Amino acid sequence: MNHIPRPASASNATEIVDPQVLVRRLRVVHRAQSELRRGVPVVLVGRTNIAVLPAETADTSSIADLWAIALTPPVLLLAGERAATVLGKPSEARVQAIMLDREYLTPEILRSLADPTLAQIAPPDLRTTTVPDEAETALALLKIGRLLPAALVAPVGVAPFIVADNLGLLSVPAANVREYPDATASTLQRVAEAVVPLDDAPDARIVAFRSPDRGVEHLAILVGRPETHAAPLVRVHSECFTGDLLGSLRCDCGPQLRSALHRMSQEGAGVLLYMAQEGRGIGLVNKLRAYALQDGGLDTLDANRALGWEADERRFLAAATMLEQLGIHRVRLLTNNPDKVSSLIACGIDVASREAHSLPPNGVNDAYLATKAKRFGHIL
């Protein structure tokens, strides 16, 4: 089996010899993001040791817990684009740290500062301060949990594991957080397979892949026997609950999914990788928030950025790993997105050709498709 060259950002993961060590390192990150989703602080251990609490899930009790272990008053971290809006002035910084008087550190105000779709509460005298080390890692951890990248953080001193243990909080090394996306993608395990005849592809099988920390799951829909073809038709399709399942007219995801399967069935073989990357990687809840911002006049790119996310948070190393495990190393890629082509090539997949996959607008998604072409570079 060919080995996929890993991106430089995944180098830490590939240095680990014992796979059980890697699993433990991944598992602690998975546990940490679960704690944060519940509104429980975690201690991030790195160049600076900081307690992290999501603005989105903070409550009165968890804010008090953060104050109890803080060496200095907590500060609010916001992704650059969101911070610029909150502060009312442009900034090129990726992360900003904002000081708030203690009386304004309430769940309602924190959520308002994090989420532009809520009624905006503007505390007086917002002041920026020095961004702590590991600030970007803290926001990356929130993104792993599909939370808004806005966190209340505070330094906890030189004995972070003791501080965490004394309060029953989980501690997580910052290095584990940084390696998590690529490490989970490169170590996906094939865990189940079944024949599932589909309307558009009667000769279909579904193969399930799961990361070793038992977290993210991706699916491969195999039509016919693509592994026996020199360069089968392949589509990397990011899941879309609203488009794929509900038939939403706001996007072209559902028609693209069914059209791809139909074309593969006509050719007699193909692979559709169904990736758990809803909303270009920001998750379903945040995609709905982005929709609300689009209804207020933003396009899909600016809406993602207004929430503090990048325009496209997806990674394609997982797709390359799945193809490798399926024994497919050369493909004809069914896509209008040149970034998918270059990303798969960077991960070691031989892309023999790009196959066009555009569908006409439906009267509702016209502006969305125009944005994909103009601002994302899709070939439509």
For 103-166, the three-class secondary structure string (H helix, E strand, C coil) is: HHCCHHHHHHHHCCCCCCCCCCCCEEECCCCCHHHHHHHHHHCCCCCEEEEEECCCCHHHHHHH
Q: Are residues 339 and 213 in the same domain?
A: yes
**Which residues constitute the domain of residue 96?**
8-180
Q: pLDDT by residue (tens digit) across 232-249?
A: 999 999 999 999 999 999
Q: Are residues 76 and 150 in the same domain?
A: yes
Q: Are residues 232 and 149 in the same domain?
A: no
User: Under a CB-based contact definition with an 8 Å cutoff, are residues 91 and 81 in contact?
Assistant: no
Cross-strand partners of 195: 205
Residue that terminates a domain, selected from 180, 198, 230: 180
| Ordered alpha helix ranges (H), the chain | 11-14, 19-37, 60-69, 80-87, 107-114, 135-144, 160-167, 174-186, 253-267, 278-281, 284-295, 300-306, 317-325, 338-346, 366-375
Which CATH number fits the domain that encloses residue 101? Answer: 3.90.870.10
pLDDT level of residue 12 (50, 70, 90 thresholds): very low
pTM: 0.90
How far apart CA 82 and CA 306 sit, in angstroms, is 6
Give the pLDDT of residue 13: 39
Residues serving a catalytic function are 312, 314
pLDDT level of residue 5 (50, 70, 90 thresholds): very low
Give the pLDDT of residue 160: 67
Q: How far is CA 182 from CA 212, 219, 329, in A?
A: 12, 18, 19
Q: Is the pLDDT of residue 96 over 80?
A: yes
Average pLDDT over residues 55-84: 94
Q: Is the pLDDT of residue 213 over 90?
A: no
Domains: count for the chain: 2
Q: pLDDT by residue (tens digit) across 165-195?
A: 777 889 999 999 999 999 999 999 999 999 9
Arithmetic mean of pLDDT over the chain? 91
Token pair recorded at residue 316: 């394609």
Q: From 204, 198, 186, select the one nearest 319 (Cα to Cα).
A: 186
Give the pLDDT of residue 380: 80
